[in-house]
Amino acid sequence: MVANGANPPRGSAAATASMRRRRTTSGGSAAGASGTMLQFYTDDAPGLRISPNVVLVMSIGFIAFVSILHVVGKLFLVSREAGRS
């Protein structure tokens, strides 16, 4: 075994032996993925807690804001071109 938790060189007998010893803790990749997804919804998950409704309202508000900016930009562009003539 290599010191300090470093992996043995690839292709060596030690690397092959360590690959044989590996086992998944949940028994499958699908169960492991769902276990990590559920961590986002626990009280122990770090970060800001925002409900899905708040995210939905914020995203719709952002889309509306960008749309309004596009309309205002078009109106100012039309008024500038009319003033030059």
Retrieve residue 1's tokens.
């075994």
Q: Which residues form the domain of 56?
A: 50-85
pLDDT class of 77 with cuts at 50, 70, 90: confident
Nearest Cα to 40, choosing from 25, 26, 50, 54? 50
User: Does residue 7 share a domain with residue 35?
Assistant: yes
Cβ contact 26:32 at 8 Å: yes
13 pLDDT exceeds 80? no
The CB density around residue 18, as the number of other CB atoms within 10 Å, is: 14
In the chain, the number of structural domains is 2
**H or E stretch including 63?**
helix 52-84
The four Cα atoms 50, 53, 55, 56 give a dihedral, to 10 degrees, of 180
User: Does residue 77 share a domain with residue 41?
Assistant: no
83 pLDDT exceeds 70? yes
User: Does residue 62 share a domain with residue 39?
Assistant: no
